[in-house]
Structure 1
């Protein structure tokens, strides 16, 4: 169980260095089941990650990082600075039956992160080459299903639980990065090592039929999920961009997952925030050629395109993302909010350049 608790709320415009309130921020808000702290913060702030500034010197809460469904949050001003408080129950009212509380509101959509982390991994060439893999079963079948025993090439730990993964190719065909995405197709348990590099295994679950050559990776807890996320602007990435969707498909929206081309080697950490920009369309203006045409690049004639590159209109912010898993040269990020679907090759910018 991952209990995340942050409160991401703040206020605007009182001091030049303070966080900025949204134009139409609420004076109070009642926390609902299914809320995330990012969602709550975004109701108040243009910069939702600046949550600590509302909770400083707040004696009302034993732990200011925990809020629950049913809590009423009230925006107040103390010594000229905004503070977010939980409304107290009326004095003199005694509760005879204690209130049962749900889990604290998470920072972001944990279900999306857990589902992705369980179902997908990113491996470099060395990890792919070292991974164990299925070679078949005693009946000579190429497709394997739950309840059957099979054999795997590699050294496995007897009794160990392994995920069975299928390669999905590089994140971005033709890119210089060599990370390969793999998707979980099922699980198995290692029975015994029958030869030096051959193990007997039993298939325990499946999302789809397993095949010869599917990879085996340990499913033991490996620290890939942080127990707490502290969102903050990430380091600037040279030519930073979205390089792939986290799942099948060509687009992703709010609470979806994307891969970006920055990882541990570029200083990226879990919790880092980025804005996603939609590239502006290209245009050929009247003076671009002797034809005197005004055209979008995608509808321009071949002659007009041969006169030179189109002028690109400014990119527009469409989303904000938070990194939750970091690899060597790439990272997986959760789409926190968006006003349009995200596609591969969309550039990255500061989180302020995100959806509003």
Structure 2
């Protein structure tokens, strides 16, 4: 088994910029996009829009879709709210104490009324370059949700896992993803690398696969079998 596997830093950076996990309190306190100046709910690049909340004028903000709570249906554990980047805005004018005018700078997906804002700065930049190494053995580790709005993940998509720092996992740890089976042995369908860890949950990047990854797939030790993919 090789000691480590190099992973492109650009792929990690992109994933970290696009997906985050917030506490319920952080989600509730974040400013929210309202309708555009032209009363549209779906907003467009270059358009002026309104935000409910106070922003720092001239500062850039990431716009995120609230994807709902990350919940383990088996244990009813609630981990926080998962969010997905939809675009970027710049705060332009404080119109009222809790109403700010913004300019939409770019779109990575469709921006909608109700999306939340977070200061951009260097958000999501890895603090160091690291190699991927096998993580510790996990009991009942599995995929809880896909990062984006679809139901399956492919290479360079993000998935959310039910294990975090409390379980001994860290950024850079590798796991194989297995599809549960009733009779036959579980099939290794993909490999993931952890890119963001919280106390009880983590985000992982799909770095290789021979089938799509789904919620409910299980985590296991990387086998490094050249015939498995």
TM-score bracket, shorter-length normalisation = 0.7 to 0.9
Q: Is 2:224 the counterpart of 1:323?
A: no
User: Partners in 2 of 1:255 and 1:119 — Cα distance?
Assistant: 12
Q: Is 2:203 the counterpart of 1:332?
A: yes
Query: Rg larger in 1 or in 2?
Result: 1
Asked whether the 8 Å contact 1:120–1:184 carries over to 2, the reply is: yes
Q: Is 2:129 the counterpart of 1:129?
A: no
What is the CA distance between 1:127 and its match in structure 2? 1.4
What is the CA distance between 1:207 and its match in structure 2? 3.8
TM-score by length of 2: 0.82
Q: Which has the higher contact order (CA 8 A, sep 6+)?
A: 2
**How many residue pairs align between the two structures?**
225
One of 157, 173, 186 as aligned partner of 1:272: 173
Q: CA RMSD in A?
A: 2.7
User: Partners in 2 of 1:269 and 1:232 — Cα distance?
Assistant: 10
* Structure 1: segments with no counterpart, 5+ residues: 1-46, 52-105, 283-312
2:6 — aligned with what?
A: 107
2:101 — aligned with what?
A: 200
One of 43, 58, 71 as aligned partner of 1:144: 43
User: Partners in 2 of 1:323 and 1:212 — Cα distance?
Assistant: 31
1:15 — aligned with what?
A: none
2:15 — aligned with what?
A: 116
2:152 — aligned with what?
A: 251
Asked whether the 8 Å contact 1:257–1:335 carries over to 2, the reply is: yes
Asked whether the 8 Å contact 1:322–1:336 carries over to 2, the reply is: yes
1:160-208 Cα deviation digits (max 9, x unpaired): 1011112222345744223222222221101233333222211222245
Judging changes above 3 Å, is the alpha-carbon distance between structure 1 residues 231 and 146 closer, same or farther for their aligned structure 2 residues? closer
1:40 — aligned with what?
A: none
Judging changes above 3 Å, is the alpha-carbon distance between structure 1 residues 319 and 131 closer, same or farther for their aligned structure 2 residues? same
* Structure 2: segments with no counterpart, 5+ residues: none
- 1:37-48 aligned at under 5 Å gives the runs 47-48=1-2
1:178 — aligned with what?
A: 79
Higher helix proportion: 1
Higher strand proportion: 2
